[in-house]
Chain A
Amino acid sequence: MTDLLLLLPVLIITSGAILLMLLAAFENVRDEIACFGAMVIFLFGFCMQLFGLGQGDARIFSGVFNEMLVGNSFTAVAGLIITACGFFTCLSSHTYFKQNRFITSEYYALTAFAASGMMLLTMAQELITAFISLEIMSLAIYVLVGMHRRNIKATEAVLKYLMLGAFAGGFFAMGSALMYGGTGSTKFAEIAGFISANGFFASSILVVGAFFILVALLFKIAAFPFHAWVVDVYDGAAMPVTGFMATALKTAVFAVFANFLILDGGLQASWVEYLFYIAVFTMFGGNLIAIGQNSLKRMLAASGIVHSGYLLIALVAFTSRDFTANVIVFYLAAYAVATMGMFAALSYLSGEDEQRITFDDFRGLAKVRPFSAAAISIFLLSMAGIPPTVGFMGKFYIIVNAINAGQVLLAVLAIVSSVISMWYYLRLIITMYFHEARDDFAVAKSPLAQATTFFLVFCVFALSLLPVSV
């Protein structure tokens, strides 16, 4: 019974996605119905996912699935973040597509398909399952990025993402094959067991395979040497899609990354040296890119790279399995709330065909729309890590975790990086508050994106009160 409850959210989202797809086949069905259908599905999935909280490892239907899937509190919280992100994406899409008319009803089906792949990915405990769910997620996301077929920027984005993403998928498949060759198993736990018994360098196939998988995962989270695609892809995708990618996709990939590394000390210990440098370069490289950007979307994309760097710190600084997992998932939630809110706000503020997109376009927003400007400021402060927001608590736990693990240098560098990141977050606040308005900031008639924004402002403060058990 517990098994079914743990698997139910995935089943709901998947069957909901298929229903939405069939619904989209009928031409007389309006997009709005698909939108509300998707909201109901995501909300239902979210509620079902709540049952998974507070549980230890449960191998879901171990007889049938051969222990491929594991449900525990970590996967449940990741699932909650993903379904919530899907729900808020549908809400902000409703408003966004009032002014950007390139929607087809398949959009919502694809969002649900992507979410189902992500949820499977968080539960995957085995390389082939992880690969398949990674591809379910990626294929749906590729289509979502290229949804605006007549737009040359979206076409460029989808081409870049598809090419590079396909290579990353290939790397993952090759790495899985090599790891199987090296260790005789595709299960994370058995691979880790092999490494702690024989050492990482016992088998050269294993080293190469682990390197390939590391490349694929680092690509998906946009970490340092593989971060170049993220700015262009986020820039070309539609606003709600960018928000969905930035939050839900990152949550899913970090969950599988954490599962893969932390399940047993074996794998993590052999990679920790390299991950240290990758984390540092990701933080500072992301900051350097973000400082130079003039478009808000590109700035947020680059700041996503920086946040990947902070999350990598948690992977490097491994204290205890539970605490590190909690820290990662808390930071993912903190980042998701602020980023989702930011993109929901931009969904209704960017106007027709995303005409307001640069820093200058938002001059004097506070004079015309004081509440929206205040909400955006709160999200930015949360991303920068100012108390009493959830972003501060997330960074706080990351740094506590790093110091507990003895990585004091990394903790200091994280603080330096977050001070640097103030530059581009505060720049937008200054633009909004200390300039005269030249625009009337007309928005679409649907109030859903506004509602999302203000609800997420509440979440920024509410989530910061959640305790993380040590």
Chain B
Amino acid sequence: MSNELVFSAIALLGIAFIVPLLMIVTGVLGPRVGGKAKNEAYESGIQHVIGLADQKFSVKFYLVAILFLIFDIEAVFMYPWAVALRELGWFGFIEMVVFMLLLLAGLIYILKKGVLNWR
């Protein structure tokens, strides 16, 4: 056992005790302010969360958010690619075309499925 291992084990134990301790202490010492608005569950804009946890509700917002994420990441990938395009040459270009075609297939799929129609 090296010193570093002992140190990291102590650090781990320390975290394991300190974090729960802090949570308990804030619960005991902290001020308690009630109120309807505070006690209501916040569910990303959906008001009045009622019923069981497995009930169905509209997924439109989530779908749009996820789709935005996918195509946003596509754009993010293109910046470093554009900077390095000269060094990558034709190989990099073809790689990017393949990547874009894969995403295009995904776009065709979601268009056909009507995900972008806001009903």
Which residues does A use to contact B, with CB under 8 Å? Answer: 18, 21-22, 24-26, 64, 152, 155, 201, 204, 207-208
Are A22 and B105 interface neighbours, CB within 8 A?
yes
Give the contacts of B87-119 with A (CB-CB under 8 A): 91, 102, 105-106, 108-109, 111-113
Inter-chain pairs besides A22-B105, A24-B109, 18 sampled, C-beta below 8 Å: A18-B102, A18-B105, A21-B109, A22-B109, A25-B108, A25-B109, A25-B111, A25-B112, A26-B112, A64-B91, A155-B54, A201-B2, A201-B5, A204-B2, A204-B4, A204-B5, A207-B5, A208-B8
Chief secondary structure at chain A's binding surface:
helix
Q: Of B4, B54, B91, B106, which is within 8 A of A152 by CB? A: B54
Which residues does B use to contact A, with CB under 8 Å? Answer: 1-2, 4-5, 8, 54, 91, 102, 105-106, 108-109, 111-113
Are B8 and A204 interface neighbours, CB within 8 A?
yes
A97 CA to B1 CA in the complex, in Å? 57
A208 CA to B9 CA in the complex, in Å? 10
Least Cβ–Cβ distance between B36 and chain A, in angstroms: 30
5 nearest A-B pairs in the assembled complex, by CB-CB distance: A25-B112, A204-B4, A25-B109, A204-B5, A18-B105
- Write the chain B residue with the least CB distance to A27: B112
Contacts of A24 in B (CB 8 A): 109
Least Cβ–Cβ distance between B2 and chain A, in angstroms: 6
Contacts of B8 in A (CB 8 A): 204, 208
Contacts of A22 in B (CB 8 A): 105, 108-109
Contacts of A208 in B (CB 8 A): 8
Query: Chain B CB within 10 Å — which of A64, A152, A204 has the most?
Result: A204
A208 CA to B91 CA in the complex, in Å? 38
8 contacts between A and B (CB under 8 A): A21-B105, A21-B109, A25-B111, A26-B112, A204-B2, A204-B5, A204-B8, A207-B5
A207 CA to B9 CA in the complex, in Å? 12
- Write the chain B residue with the least CB distance to A156: B54
